[in-house]
Amino acid sequence: MRHLPTLDENALIKTIATIDPAPPQKSWTSQVGSILGQALFDYSSALFISAAIAIAAAARQFKERRQRERVSLEILPPRERRRVQDLLAQAAILTGADRVVLGVFHNGSISFDGLHFSHLAIPFCYEHPSMPLLPEFLRDIPVSSIMRELEAIWKTPNNEFLARVDDCDSPCRYYLETRGVKQIVFRSKGLKSVDVLILGYHWTETHHWREQEREAIAPIEEEIVQIVRLAATHRLLSPAFGKRRH
């Protein structure tokens, strides 16, 4: 009778001892905690980066706004600003305009053929509450960049340019549409043969621009011209007040 092989207990123990133990399995709660911890870390990092970007953007906008505000501070003395704003509001009422814009020429130089300005500042603008903000408001624009528009004004007998969105070319139409209007009137005003400012009237709908409206706003425009003239004299007498900042 054959005997079954006997089991050597010592050998079995040695064999079992040489087998690497299986790594302990994490519980599902610890796995979930690890995932949540990583997600919270990623979220915190993204939140921190977003906050840093937002703060930097806000700081840049604040700096740009302060720089733009200097335009109005330099163009007119403090006591004249409220008066000009009131005059623009009156002009809007008399013409039915949704926006009235004041552009002031400055930084002039004299040559053999007269006085030339290098910049046009937009220090004041009256807008109906429903109107979007004018992109050029509180900006200082080089005259060379808008010479085409200025020549369109100056080539007319009365230095007045009227444009309607349905009647003008593509660049003009784009200008009107991006400013939320369907009609504009630009009027160049000055002293003798020197223009010192541009007044712009904007309407969201087509408007009948008539002679009686020109006559109604004439005293207002004349007062604005005189205010700008006096401010220019003040800057000449106080050069530091009118010094451009870069």
- How many Å apart are CA 232 and CA 245, to the nearest integer? 17
Q: Are 138 and 72 in contact (CB under 8 A)?
A: yes
Q: What is the mean pLDDT of residues 114-140?
A: 87
DSSP 77: -
Q: What is the mean pLDDT of residues 147-174?
A: 88
Q: What angle do CA 171, 94, 152 make, to 5 degrees?
A: 25
Please report which confidence band the pLDDT of residue 85 belongs to, taking 50, 70 and 90 as the band edges: very high
pTM above 0.85, yes or no: no
Q: Over 80: is that where the pLDDT of 49 sits?
A: no
Mean residue pLDDT of the chain comes to 76
Instruction: Tell me which residue has tokens 């630009």.
Output: 186
Q: Over 80: is that where the pLDDT of 99 sits?
A: yes
Quick one: which H or E segment has residue 188? Answer: strand 183-191
Q: Are 234 and 77 in contact (CB under 8 A)?
A: yes
pLDDT in tens, 8-42: 555 545 555 555 555 555 565 666 567 666 766 66
Quick one: which H or E segment has residue 91? Answer: helix 78-95
Please report which confidence band the pLDDT of residue 157 belongs to, taking 50, 70 and 90 as the band edges: confident
pLDDT for 21: 55
Q: Residue 117's CB: how many other CB atoms inside 10 A?
A: 15
